[in-house]
């Protein structure tokens, strides 16, 4: 199974640890970055990680930022993504078994590494249990359509980043 993973600068060390953790368990990993602690922007890595899933390059995605909120919201904007922001193992299980979530999102500054590893294990190992109801609900979610013009556009955030670098946004 191939896993697409991404994070922002707040939790790079944790992401690097999880890349090793996943590889040790035999998963193939696409590490979308970020790769250091330089201030960056979670929408970039939510989008990159999610794109690998919807294009079929990866089977599932894992995203982490400080709270998990920003990066999960970003991943969810990619058409076909159902990113679940979870804070416990049971929710990770439900996300896969009932929602067939294809991205697991967590807050690296909120949760301990033990919970994060266990949530990942559970998410990856749990099977989706399709029912008529879950199928219809997922169809409804997926029909809340967004345009996909931005898919795999490496320069999609250029204008945003330029404005940021030029002081166009608060730095906190
Ligand atoms: C830092 O940008 C921080 O806001 C981010 O990691 C995350 O917590 C957002 O949800």
Domain boundaries, the chain: 2-165
* Tens-digit pLDDT profile for residues 153-162: 888 888 888 8
Cβ density class 89-117: b for 16+ within 10 Å, e for less: bebbbbbbbbbbbbbbbbbbeebeeebbb
**How far, in Å, from the CA of 70 to the mean position of ligand 1?**
6
Mutate which of 66, 69, 71, 164 for ligand 1? The one with the most ligand atoms within 8 Å of its CB, which is 66
Q: What does the angle CA 150 – CA 83 – CA 123 come to, to the nearest 5 degrees?
A: 135
* Tens-digit pLDDT profile for residues 137-149: 898 888 876 556 6
Residue 140: the pLDDT is 86
Mean pLDDT, the chain, integer: 93
* Tens-digit pLDDT profile for residues 42-58: 999 999 999 999 999 99
CATH assignment, 2-165 = 3.40.1400.10
Write down how long the chain is: 172
Nearest ligand 1 atom to the CA of 39 is 2
Which range among 98-102, 105-109, 133-137 shows the weakest confidence by mean pLDDT? 133-137
């Amino acid at each position: 199974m191939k896993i697409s993973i991404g994070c922002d600068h707040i939790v790079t060390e944790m992401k690097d640890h999880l890349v090793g953790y996943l590889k040790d368990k035999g998963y193939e990993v696409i590490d979308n970055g970020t790769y250091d602690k330089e201030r960056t922007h979670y929408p970039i890595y939510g989008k990159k990680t999610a794109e690998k899933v919807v294009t079929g390059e990866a089977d599932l995605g894992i995203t982490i930022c400080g709270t998990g909120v920003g990066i999960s919201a970003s991943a969810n904007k990619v058409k076909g993504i159902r990113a679940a922001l979870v804070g416990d193992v049971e929710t990770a299980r439900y996300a896969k078994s009932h929602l067939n979530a294809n991205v697991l999102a967590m807050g690296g500054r909120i949760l301990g590494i033990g919970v994060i590893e266990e949530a990942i294990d559970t998410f990856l190992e749990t099977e989706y249990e399709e029912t008529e109801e879950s199928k219809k609900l997922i169809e409804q979610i997926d029909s809340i359509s967004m345009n996909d013009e931005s898919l795999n556009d490496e320069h999609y955030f250029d204008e945003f980043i330029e404005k940021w670098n030029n002081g166009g946004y608060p730095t906190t």
